[in-house]
Structure 1
Amino acid sequence: MKKLAIIGLIAAGTMSLMAADGAALYKKCAGCHGAHGEKHALGKSKPIKGWSKDKLVESLKGYKAGTRNVYGMGGLMKGQVASYSDADIEAVSEYISKF
């Protein structure tokens, strides 16, 4: 029983180390959106500061799928999030939603 508990703790620790880091992921976004999501990206979009996590997840998944093209930024944003896993999208959305 103790061995199972230890294995469970090790697995949980490993998973948290592997969890996506929203702050690190957001670094590539900050150039256009600002350090705290306060900028109009490339002078076109509305600031993302104040958006809910759900709205951010939906938007990023839409860009990744190629089904979202707001302000003509669909292609650019698709490239930005193409490498993001669902866990990355969740993590960066959670991070941004705290601005």
Structure 2
Amino acid sequence: MKKIVLSVIFAAATAASLSAASIAACATCHGASFEKAALGKSEIVKGWDEAKTVASLNGYKAGTLNVHGMGAVMKGQVAKLTDADIADIAKQIAAMK
């Protein structure tokens, strides 16, 4: 039983750190509050609604979106994100109005 509890705690901590790491990776170009035009090219994503962010990140991940010529860069950035990571990022961006 102790091993199961520890496994659940480890899994939760890992998931939380993935989301934090994902947000940190986004902040490198978009700013800590998503207030910047990434690399001076993108739209400012601060305050985007969740659906728009999810659609954009999924489009970049699939390689079907190339806004402002950033498709290849963004595809690499979002390649390892899970659906849960994308949803979490979208919620955080939407909350920054």
The TM-score with structure 1 as length reference comes to 0.78
Root-mean-square deviation (CA), in Å?
Answer: 2.2
Name which one, 1 or 2, has greater alpha-carbon Rg. 1
Mapped pair 1:94 → 2:91: yes
SS at match of 2:77: helix
Query: Does the Cα contact within 8 Å between 1:33 and 1:47 map onto a contact in 2?
Result: yes
**What percent identity do the matched residue pairs reach?**
52
- Is the counterpart of residue 76 in structure 1 residue 73 in structure 2? yes
Deviation, structure 1 residue 20:
4.0
Gaps of 5+ in 1: 1-9
Q: State the shift of 1:80 in Å.
A: 0.1
Partner of 1:67: 64
Residue equivalent to 1:17: 12
Structure 1 counterpart of 2:23, from 26, 44, 57? 26
**In terms of mean alpha carbon deviation, does 24-33 or 62-71 score higher?**
24-33
Q: How many pairs does the alignment contain?
A: 89
Distance 1:36 1:74 in 2: 22
Higher relative contact order by CA 8 Å / sep ≥ 6: 1 or 2? 1
Measured against aligned partners, the alpha-carbon deviations of 1:36-83 in whole angstroms (never above 9, x if no partner) come to: 110010000110001001110000000000000000000000000000
Residues 19 and 89 of structure 1: is their aligned pair in 2 closer, same or farther, counting only changes over 3 Å? farther
1: distance between equivalents of 2:21 and 2:50? 17
SS in 1 for 2:42: coil
C-alpha distance in 2, partners of 1:82/1:24?
A: 14
